[in-house]
Amino acid sequence: MATNVTEQQARQVAEAAREREWKLPSFGKELFLGNFRLDLIHPQPELDPAAVEKGERFLAALRDFLVSEVDPLRIEREARIPDEVVDGLKELGALGMKVPAEYGGLGLSQVYYNRALVLADTWHSAISTLLSAHQSIGVSQPLLAFGTEEQKRRWLPLVARDHISAFLLTEPDVGSDPARLAATAVPTDDGYVLNGRKLWATNGAIADVVVVMAQVPKSEGHRGGISAFVLPYDTEGVTVENRNAFMGLRGIENSATLLRDVFVPAENLIGREGDGLKIALTTLNTGRLALPAICVGVAKWATKICREWGNERVQWGQPVGRHDAVAQKIGFIAATAFGLEAMLDVSSRLADAKRSDIRIEAAIAKLYASEMGWKVVDELMQVRGGRGYETAESLKARGEKPVPVEQAMRDMRINRIFEGSTEIMHLLIAREAVDQHLEVAGDILEGDVELARKARAALKAGRFYAKWLPQLAVGEGQRPGSFDDFGELATHLRFVERNSRKLARSTFYAMGRWQAKLEKRQAFLGRIVDIGAELYAIAAACVYARTLGTAEARELADVFARQARARVKTLFYNVFANEDDANHGLARRVLDGAHTWLEEGIADPSGEGPMMASAEPAEAARSYMDVPDAR
């Protein structure tokens, strides 16, 4: 079973994996501190003409391939991507979009990599998932950031050409708490021996090479800790036990994988022993932008379907899109599609420019896009009505356009869960948002710190807050003429500036009120992060509209900002006026069995048994080749 660890130990492991230094400026960090640094995202970095030419050429080839060679209904029907489609993606070079040309890849920019995912996802989500798992979190990104030159020369040409990769971190008893990692990597004279079970490895059922995380025991000559290894998947002892099936993403090759006495040579260690989580988190700084790209694709597609359906379907004497109840939904979908695209574009250009620390921006983009994307497909389902609930295959059989709304809803739902659930993202972003406060006042907030350290921290905090707090009183957002070069969008930027200071004041008040217990107020922290996300989205929409320079873009940005401002006002109201304590108390009583009477009168089809399978190896594990559809 997984290692039993205390809450404090789990926090220490997570904290040690963080990037502690801020070597580059961060728009997101400054925003949470009440400092609206518009100059960090505007004007947007210019796209390199050569990168644009290369990217557009690839997008055209990818579009032609999808339209002419890939049947999305077949993927959904058979719950797998046909071999010829995977082979075609390899021939296009799609596996190497993010691998530099010097290592055999296409070397696309982050902007065009994301645009490729937008395109691929609108054809079928299993394709975008295959590509993003392979190169956003698969072998290439960790090696590009932390690998030796020898490792890059050996592995990158393979994964750029035809070797599918996967990332093996999650275990049956290990999700967002990596301190419980049970897989081990025991050192030998010339390498390590891996043992453990990994769960939910996307591409894991068909992978050729993977990155695997395992605990190295601390011993003489070995610093130990969670470490990352490149592992050829045909190594003896690797067994794909199951090809997992899900509510959505029916064509993905997701595995439960057993590692039993698997030898990996020492040269396959990525970075140093104990750096595994740091490697994973650093990889996700830009890797998380893949998921917002997928959500953008769905939102743009939803806008198209709403336009077509809203005009063609007539009820009560006029097209349904002209009725106010439906028009409100279409307005929300179109504005949100623009807002998500703006956030993705701003974040992606920051990633390409490499002049900012985007850990907060990328995390917000993942959180915000997955939440708003879900609302978009829910509203799209309502707009389409019964036809939205009907499968594309059934619609086609009746002679209608096979619009896969129900598939889009099933596929979208996972985005609020994987690569960091909404709840985990709230805590991760909140931790980064209060980093400055913890640096200057952390010892004051903690209850078990000696008095001398508290006294020194008090002096340091006094100096910081004496300068910082007065800056939160007034700002450019209160001056009517500020940001006027943005025209009619200037009012929204003034709103962002004013409310970033209000957000910082609210956070400071909460720290004083709850001190070390603030980390337990997860609903409060979630609202604080959501406010910051909305403010970033508004700023990104205004900046993106300014970059595009069209009246249409300004209209979309204006309506999106109006909608986001309304959400911000509601969030601020609920920051301190809420039912959090009542809800938490009721939850505890439910867990303690006080309301089991409420469960009477039902029949549970799941029956008896444990909620989680044992992390120990199965008695009779199947071989890799015995798994259905594995290839």
**Known active-site residue 91:** no
Which has the closest alpha carbon to 119: 61, 62, 52?
62
- Per DSSP, which regions of 58-190 are E strands? 165-168, 184-187
Token reading at 384: 């389409």
Angle at the Cα of 152 (from 150 to 158), degrees rounded to 5?
A: 120
Token reading at 629: 């559809």
d(CA 438, CA 605): 48
Contact predicate 364/358, CB 8 Å: no
Q: Say whether the peptide bond before residue 319 is cis (omega within 30 degrees of 0).
A: no
Distances (CA, A) of 583 to 208, 309, 314, 577: 47, 41, 44, 13
Q: Is the dihedral of CA 165, 170, 176, 179 positive or negative?
A: negative
Neighbours of 421 (CB within 10 A): 16
Distances (CA, A) of 348 to 49, 169, 275, 406, 552: 16, 26, 26, 30, 22
Q: How far is CA 132 from the centre of its chain?
A: 11
Token reading at 255: 């595995």
d(CA 352, CA 41): 13
d(CA 582, CA 598): 18
Q: How far is CA 219 from the centre of its chain?
A: 36
One-character DSSP codes across 579-622: -HHHHHHHHHHHHTTTTGGGGTT---TT-SS-SS--SSPPTTPP
77: buried, middle or exposed (CB in 10 Å: 19+, 13-18, 0-12)?
Answer: middle
Angle at the Cα of 8 (from 533 to 286), degrees rounded to 5?
A: 35
The DSSP bridge pattern shows strands 225-232 and 314-315 to be unpaired
Contact predicate 194/259, CB 8 Å: yes
Q: In the block, which residue shows the tokens 């750029």?
A: 160
525: buried, middle or exposed (CB in 10 Å: 19+, 13-18, 0-12)?
Answer: buried
Q: What single letter denotes the amino acid at residue 105?
A: G
Backbone dihedral region for residue 237 (phi beyond 0: left; psi -120 to 50: alpha; all else: beta): left
569: buried, middle or exposed (CB in 10 Å: 19+, 13-18, 0-12)?
Answer: middle
Q: What single letter denotes the amino acid at residue 28?
A: G
In the set 406, 419, 432, 534, the catalytic residue is 419
- The catalytic residues are 419
